[in-house]
Structure 1
Amino acid sequence: MSGARMAGWLFADLLLVMVVVTLGGETTTKGAGAHIRPELTAGPTSTPTLTPTVSAPAPGTPAGGLDPHTRSISVRTDPGDLVGGSDAAAASIRRQVAQKAAQFQGERAAFVIVFGNAGRLPGGAVDTRSSTEYAEAVARLLPSAKPDFFPPYDEKIIRSYHNTDPRVPSGTAEIELFFLLH
């Protein structure tokens, strides 16, 4: 098969995968949480018929899924101090997180991503190893900073990454918050 024909098939396969993922990922709040329950009813011929009935979810039941509109907060401290185990740096992060998360009164974070920036290497590139370690140190403090807001620490729910944005100053941790849909 020629390269052009292979590329065409590859494109078609990728397009099919994108369609399946898009359709599979769509959610709706109309009827979300509804339950279909079959009921046995007598029809006009007195022959029992299986009829599905749909019951609505209880009021206040979340529709499910993560809200695609995220919120974020930023905190700052000396990355080396925090990663090195400084109690003062940890207390500073906890205090900043508790203060800034207070704006989300009544909410609870369902998923969190922490992006850390711990400085630059000679030549100007972001120190990705130190920045990821800094983000991890901040992430581990979140549940103790505001236990009623953050889920318990788990690497699958509170994730840590480095931030390579050159405009973000060293010592900044940006905390991206995801909430459940209501």
Structure 2
Amino acid sequence: MRGRPRERAAAGRTVLLAGWLFADLLLLLLVIALGSLPREQRTGASHKPSTPSSPPPSTQPAERGLVLKPCSFTVRTGSAGSVRQQFGAQLRGAGVADRTAGFVLSFGTAPDPGPGQDAADKVNSMITDGFSRFRHAPKRGYWKGGPSGKVRIDVFFLAAPDGNTSFPKGCHSSDDG
């Protein structure tokens, strides 16, 4: 007889936890639904018709999207000047020196995680200081196993000023294999 009250208490806790899980899932769905709404509906702002003082719609800047495939570059670690020179030359060679970075993932190659991630973080700070179009992009440093001395930089660019989000023709991606 002693086992029955415990079983009822356990069943009651399970039902209670299931109720909280259901409530949390509904809250998550609400957040996702609100996040997927167009900007005007999220902020409650209404679209205003263009006035004579605003530029015609064809010359207004497009909303900035993100190129979903990264352009990959590899630099050898060293002095800040050397890293910036290598990276700048690769940006110019790929034809993306005038593009703005959306976010940057860097992978420092080293036998151990600590030095590899440190190298990636160091290169990220060199890029931030040396290239104004990379200054506001979030950057993350990661480790990639292998011999020390190189950092692969994957750059996800913002859309071109005309709104084009296609992969830049001069780039190659680490996703390509």
TM-score strictly above 0.5: yes
Separation in 1, partners of 2:99, 2:37:
21
Aligned to 2:170: none
Residues 1:158 and 2:165 are matched in the alignment: no
Find out whether 1:54 has 2:45 as its counterpart: no
Describe the SS at the equivalent of 2:134.
coil
Greater per-residue strand proportion: 1
TM-score, normalization by structure 1: 0.57
Partner of 2:172: none
Deviation, 1:15, is 1.7
SS at match of 1:99: helix
Distance 1:30 1:71 in 2: 29
| Map 1:20-169 → 2, pairs under 5 A | 20-28=30-38, 36=46, 54-55=48-49, 58=55, 59=57, 60-63=60-63, 66-67=65-66, 69-78=68-77, 82=78, 87=79, 90-102=80-92, 103-104=95-96, 106-109=98-101, 111-121=102-112, 127=113, 129-147=114-132, 149-151=133-135, 157-164=137-144, 166=145
SS of the counterpart of 2:86?
A: helix
More helix by proportion, 1 or 2? 2
- In the alignment, does 2:25 pair up with 1:15? yes
Q: Which runs of 5+ in 2 are unaligned?
A: 1-8, 164-177
Tell me if the contact between 2:106 and 2:142 (Cα under 8 Å) persists in the aligned partners. Answer: yes
Return the letter of the residue paired with 2:118.
Answer: E
1:13 and 1:108 map into 2 onto residues whose CA distance is: 41
* C-alpha deviation, 1:118, in angstroms: 3.7
How many pairs align?
142
| SS of alignment partner, residue 163 of structure 1 | strand
Cα gap change, 1:159 to 1:105, in 2 (>3 Å): closer
**1:99-134 deviations in Å (ceiling 9; x for gaps):** 33232254222x32332324123xxxxx2x222221
**For the structure 1 residues 105 and 28, does the alpha-carbon distance in structure 2 shift closer, same or farther, using more than 3 Å as the test?**
farther
Instruction: Normalising by structure 2, report the TM-score.
Output: 0.58
Gap regions ≥5 residues in structure 1? 37-52, 122-126
